[in-house]
Chain A
Amino acid sequence: GAVVSQHPSRVICKSGTSVKIECRSLDFQATTMFWYRQFPKKSLMLMATSNEGSKATYEQGVEKDKFLINHASLTLSTLTVTSAHPEDSSFYICSARDFGGGVGEQFFGPGTRLTVL
């Protein structure tokens, strides 16, 4: 299957700092990427849809000024958690759909575990 990479895999930061997470589709182009947040033993909560060359679409309740998304190319989307606080600690996962085969399988990156002290 297609490969989506995510970096870093783990980050620990102090409260008030900003953290940038990168998501790359390695062997296909993705005009759309998705950012999810997952709490322990919970489902995947869609935060926003990242659109190449245009503004991201945020889900209700997600602060766009806090979670900045940039989709500068067809293979890279970034999520920046600005002024992170302990409540932002979570597992963040990106994904992209590969429509090369026609059906649009959605593949996930390995995730980033963010811990804000």
Chain B
Amino acid sequence: QQPVQSPQAVILREGEDAVINCSSSKALYSVHWYRQKHGEAPVFLMILLKGGEQKGHEKISASFNEKKQQSSLYLTASQLSYSGTYFCGTEITSGSRLTFGEGTQLTVNP
């Protein structure tokens, strides 16, 4: 079943923070986060495995709460280059296919 992402869209000014959430109705093994720019393929950001871990990637980090079956992506001090659509992909068991959310469109303005 497709995970639910929120918000659907967010507009920021450069330097502001944002949080994107990804919720599943099923227990998850892992959550994968991607950013896609217009006309391009999704780019892998990070993967979080069950165990409640948190990961960081420059000023982009994420957490995974397996009890709540949700993950959050944190973008701090946003840059213009952060603009794009963010997708979460959820994995039910190790090695199973990913199911992607509808995406969150992030726009960072000067």
A residues with CB within 8 A of B: 1, 6, 34, 41-44, 46, 49, 93, 99, 103-111, 113
Contacts and interface: CB of A to CB of B under 8 A. Distances in A.
B44 A1 contact: yes
B44 A104 contact: no
Interface string B87-104: 101000011011111110
B87 A43 contact: yes
Contacts of B39: 113
Would you list the 5 A-B pairs with minimal beta carbon distance, nearest first?
A108-B41, A111-B41, A44-B100, A43-B102, A108-B42
Given A103-B47, A106-B32, A106-B89, A43 B42 contact: no
Nearest to A101: B47
B58 interface: no
Given A103-B30, A103-B49, A105-B32, A46 B97 contact: yes
A106 B89 CA distance: 10
A50 B18 CA distance: 36
B41 A109 contact: yes
A111 B40 CA distance: 7
Q: Quick one: which of A42, A46, A104, A107 has the most chain B CB within 10 A?
A: A104
A93 B41 contact: yes
A1 to B, nearest CB: 6
Nearest to B91: A104
Contacts of A6: 41
Contacts of B2: 43
A109 B103 CA distance: 19
Contacts of B98: 34, 106
Contacts of B80: none
Given A43-B102, A46-B97, A103-B30, A110 B47 contact: no
Nearest to B32: A106
Interface string B16-35: 00000000000000101010
A106 B44 contact: yes
